[in-house]
Amino acid sequence: MRQIIDGDGALVDDRYKDQLTPELVVEMYKKMVFARLFDRKCVNLQRQGRIGTYVPFEGQEASQVGSALAMREDDWMFPTYRDHGATLTFGHSLKNILMYWNGRYEGAVPPEGKRIFPPAVPIASQLLHATGAAWAEKKKGTDRIAIVYFGDGATSEGDFHEGLNFASVFQIPVIFFNQNNGYAISVPTTRQMHSRTIAQKAVAYDMEGIRVDGNDVCAVYFAVKEAAEKARRGEGPTLIEAVTWRYGAHTTSDDPSKYRDQSENELRRKTADPVGRMEKFLKRYGYWDEHLKAYETEATAEIETAVKAMESEPAADISHLFDYVFAASPWPIEDQKADYHRLKGGVR
């Protein structure tokens, strides 16, 4: 498993020493801190009834931030419902991400010029979408590529195998980025596959498979960067397995204590936490300063501003539940919509 910075913040792979510029490592740290604060705020908003069910990712910041920073601004990104740390890093609107969790369809719309698909809730379907988009770029003769995110549970879906097989056959410039946090909701990895790793599944499709420490933002960054450069050269897809750990629940409607020993969280926070690891690295090598110490205050203020902007918007129109199911709405949907308006007294 590739690692560049260990749990104590020490550089253990000198090959990348010269590329770890002060600007890059500071940006990595700040992006991870911002993502963590955003995630915690969203959990609180859900508990207060201010947004709907939320999908937390605390503990996976290095995987999401490192991978997104390695991509080019005009590339494609295909996230799951858990990858808002990646989409934030890639340039998505903070307000729009909040609106998504508040039931607004506008939340699925990225900023102008950003190729970010809406979060995929069906498991593994986005692998096919990413493969198709990257294939289209190849046919157009561009050097844009796609990265697609998925959890360990997605590797049990047919779409996973179909996406990898198609990408391999046509040598499509796509990066399959797996975040293996050990559980697909309540099912541990050992109960859904006998393979020792997810990365080794690449062998079946004759593509490169890479396993990285998903809590090491630098290891993730360079693995994705190298895979992206390879894809741009026309050398095909890559499967990357980032081994990480999510501290919280699968969603805010889940209770992880029913299936997982929660005492492991505190141990991992001390030995493998991605944000803490990067802070140790910055202090060890002289990159830490007072601005970084005060950055949480700055980031919190930005997040609070976005929350206020989200909550100042009109409430979501329930009619959208009916209007955007089919291109031409069939009679059962229209009947349901009419029933809704009748029960609500015609209030939209």
Residues with a known catalytic role:
246, 250, 259
The encoded tokens of residue 335 equal 């009947």
Maximal CA-CA distance, the chain: 68
For residues 79 and 86, the answer to whether their CB atoms sit within 8 Å is: yes
Q: What is the rounded distance in angstroms from the CA atom of residue 131 to the CA atom of residue 324?
A: 25
Q: What is the rounded distance in angstroms from the CA atom of residue 74 to the CA atom of residue 80?
A: 19
Residue 331 CB-density burial (10 A; 0-12 exposed, 13-18 middle, 19+ buried): exposed
The encoded tokens of residue 297 equal 């205050």
User: With the C-alpha atoms ordered 29, 32, 34, 36, is the resulting torsion angle positive or negative?
Assistant: negative
For residues 171 and 198, the answer to whether their CB atoms sit within 8 Å is: no
Q: What is the rounded distance in angstroms from the CA atom of residue 7 to the CA atom of residue 63?
A: 15
User: With the C-alpha atoms ordered 67, 17, 298, 55, is the resulting torsion angle positive or negative?
Assistant: positive
Q: What is the rounded distance in angstroms from the CA atom of residue 185 to the CA atom of residue 170?
A: 33
